[in-house]
């Protein structure tokens, strides 16, 4: 587990005095990487809105403190590649929707794995916090890095392919957006419709038109 | 801790201005209330009380909402601790400071204060068409203003920063409205805070926009708000003039 600097503060309120009060201050490992292409205020606003929207989405299905733990994971992911994320998802609300599902699934799976091992005491579970040999990284860091690399490669290749199709065929931006959200990012038609603020049928129509144009290019 | 009080765990993250509270009251017959897009309360049944009691609370834009006093749905017993957390947590979450900074507290809360009150009832979800038209109107206004802002590049840096914050805020609010179909006080207050110089609006138009944004806090007024936003977009594009008697 990363050690964070803590500061315990005595509360002077006469009533309902907290039995424990802790402030976790900055953790050097969690400092946002410099994003030279964006000013600090814009990065701050972006992160704030991602956190706010992620909370809105997650509290529908998860307990409050589980939500807070998932937010921590989202922040950790965002901190390492903020500029890339802001380039790819200019709207922080859309990014929050994209990242919430995966992060929540990972969190629940990790919890279930830990619970299973604890109950039966048979399955060998390697803790995500365990230190890798000859390295400062943890097992979790290593897995996240590999997953991110794979995701980046797949997305980059798809993005390039779709961009080429867009330029060659002149796919209108609304059709392109429908195709990107559904085929590339894996949203259902209904979810894409909610993000774009249009009807599900319209998303389906636009996506099919864009697919047809792609097929014409390939034939 | 006696039977009449329960343990509360509080967490506040300055990043996103998010406050979370959990109360140790068990998990029987869970029911979720969404007061608005920014406030979610979970209720459970408790053997000692006839009404449901609060099991958890999540508030976005918490610090801003506490400026004019704690909202009615927040149990009185946690108000002092929450305000101490606001003061203690680092407010500057910029690139130089770790974004995981947060404050935590534990305290005992009288069970009677967690009983469900009328202030915490869910606001009804707006129909899809109204939400869609408001989101579209917000995006329309954003496009019109962006075009106007980009056409003059002699704006001082700090003014253009406020303008960019405002335009980004319009986009975000459109997405929140489309996905959650209920009011979002944090997005409205963020826009109000950046509704100043650097925007292609006269004083009168700014006041109109402010009152229209305030009107979106009540989902029943979304249709008129969407209409007014479309009118303002037309004014910004120079297609029409704003009648000074409109919306006053």
Q: How many domains, in total, are found in chain B?
A: 2
Q: Phi/psi of residue A20, each to 5°?
A: -150, 135
Tell me, yes or no, whether B23 and B85 share the same domain.
yes
Closest-CA residue of chain B to A191: B179
Q: Are residues B108 and B132 in the same domain?
A: no
Number of H helices, E strands in chain B: 7, 6
Examine residue B242 and state whether it is found in any structural domain, yes or no.
no
pLDDT tens digits along B5-48: 899 999 988 888 899 999 998 877 788 888 889 999 999 988 87
Question: Measured between CB atoms, which of A11, A47, A52 is closest to B99?
Answer: A47
The interface pTM score, or ipTM, of the predicted complex is: 0.85
Contact B176 A23 (CB under 8 A): no
Residue A23's closest chain B neighbor by CA? Answer: B103
Under 8 Å between Cβ of B221 and B215? yes
Same domain, residue pair B144 and B112: no
Instruction: Tell whether A96 is covered by a domain.
Output: yes
Contact B176 A56 (CB under 8 A): yes
Is B111 in contact with B25 (CB distance < 8 Å)?
yes
Separation in Å, CA of A217 to nearest CA in chain B: 32
- End position of a domain, from candidates B120, B142, B168: B120
Q: Over chain A, what is the mean pLDDT?
A: 72
Q: Is residue B244 part of a domain?
A: no
**What is the mean predicted confidence (pLDDT) over A52-68?**
84
Predicted confidence (pLDDT) per residue in B96-108, tens digit = 455 667 788 889 9
Residue finishing a domain among B103, B120, B137: B120
CB contact under 8 A, B58 and A64: yes
What pLDDT, on a 0 to 100 scale, did the predictor assign at position A33? Answer: 55
Q: Are residues A114 and A42 in the same domain?
A: yes
pLDDT at A118: 47
Check if B101 contacts A (Cβ < 8 Å): yes
Nearest-neighbour CA in chain A from B245: distance (Å): 32
Condensed to tens digits (0 to 9), the pLDDT of residues A24-52 reads: 655 544 455 555 577 877 888 888 899 89
The pLDDT, as a whole number, for residue A27 is 52
Inform me whether the pLDDT recorded for B2 exceeds 70: no
Nearest to B99 among A19, A75, A194 (CB): A75
If asked whether residues B214 and B137 sit together in one domain, one would say yes
- How large a percentage of chain B has pLDDT more than 90? 31
In a domain, A53, yes or no: yes
* Domain that includes residue A178, residue range: 150-219
Phi, psi torsion values for B72, nearest 5 degrees: -60, -25
B69: left (phi over 0), alpha (psi -120 to 50) or beta: left
With 50 as the cut, is the pLDDT of residue B243 above it? yes
When pLDDT is cut at 50, 70 and 90, the band that residue A187 belongs to is confident
Q: Are residues B75 and B167 in the same domain?
A: no
Number of structural domains in chain A? 2
Does one domain contain both B169 and B233? yes
In a domain, A145, yes or no: no
Q: Please check whether residue B216 lies inside any domain of the structure.
A: yes
Same domain, yes or no: B81 and B147: no
Residue B229 has pLDDT above 90, yes or no: yes
Is the Cβ pair A72, B103 closer than 8 Å?
Answer: no
User: Which residue on chain A is closest to B81 by alpha carbon?
Assistant: A18
Q: Which residue range(s) make up the domain with B156?
A: 128-237
Instruction: Based on the fold, state whether residues B112 and B136 are members of the same structural domain.
Output: no
Same domain, B133 and B108: no
Q: Say whether both A94 and A157 belong to one domain.
A: no
């Amino acid at each position: 587990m990363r050690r964070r600097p803590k500061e315990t503060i005595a509360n002077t309120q006469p009533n309902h005095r907290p039995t424990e009060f802790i402030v976790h201050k900055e953790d050097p490992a969690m400092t946002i990487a410099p994003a030279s292409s964006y000013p600090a205020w814009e990065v701050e606003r972006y992160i704030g809105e991602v956190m706010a929207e992620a909370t809105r989405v997650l509290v529908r299905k998860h307990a409050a403190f589980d939500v807070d733990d998932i937010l921590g994971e989202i922040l950790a992911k965002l901190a390492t590649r903020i500029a890339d994320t802001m380039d790819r998802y200019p709207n922080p609300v859309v990014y929050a929707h994209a990242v919430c599902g995966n992060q929540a699934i990972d969190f629940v799976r990790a919890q279930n794995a830990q619970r299973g091992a604890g109950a039966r005491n048979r399955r060998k579970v390697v803790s995500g916090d365990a230190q890798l040999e000859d390295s400062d990284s943890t097992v979790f860091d290593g897995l996240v890095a590999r997953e991110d690399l794979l995701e980046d490669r797949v997305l980059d290749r798809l993005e390039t392919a779709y961009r080429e199709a867009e330029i060659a065929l002149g796919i209108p931006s609304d059709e392109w957006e429908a195709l990107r959200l559904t085929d590339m990012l894996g949203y259902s038609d209904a979810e894409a419709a909610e993000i774009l603020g249009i009807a599900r049928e319209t998303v389906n129509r636009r996506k099919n038109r864009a697919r047809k144009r792609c097929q014409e290019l390939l034939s | 801790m006696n039977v009449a009080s329960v343990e509360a765990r509080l967490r506040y993250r300055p990043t996103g201005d998010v406050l979370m509270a959990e109360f140790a009251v068990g998990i029987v017959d869970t029911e979720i209330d969404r007061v608005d897009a920014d406030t979610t309360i979970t209720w459970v049944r408790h053997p000692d009380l006839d009404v449901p009691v609060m099991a958890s609370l999540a508030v976005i834009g918490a610090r801003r909402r506490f400026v004019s006093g704690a909202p009615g749905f927040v149990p009185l017993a946690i108000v002092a601790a929450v305000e101490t957390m606001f003061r203690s947590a680092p407010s500057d979450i910029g690139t130089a400071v770790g974004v995981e900074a947060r404050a935590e507290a534990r305290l005992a809360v009288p069970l009677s204060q967690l009983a469900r009150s009328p202030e915490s009832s869910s606001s009804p979800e707006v129909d899809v068409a109204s939400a869609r038209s408001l989101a579209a109107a917000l995006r329309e206004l954003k496009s019109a203003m962006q075009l106007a802002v980009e056409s003059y590049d002699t704006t001082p840096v700090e003014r253009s920063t406020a303008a960019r914050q405002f335009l980004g805020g319009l986009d975000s609010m459109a997405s929140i409205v489309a996905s959650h179909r209920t009011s979002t006080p944090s997005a409205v207050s963020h826009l109000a805070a950046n509704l100043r110089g650097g925007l292609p609006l006269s004083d009168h138009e700014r006041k109109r926009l402010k009152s229209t944004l305030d009107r979106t806090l009540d989902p029943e007024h979304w249709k008129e708000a969407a209409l007014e936003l479309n009118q303002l977009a037309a004014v910004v594009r120079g297609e029409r003039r704003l009648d000074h008697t409109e919306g006053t």
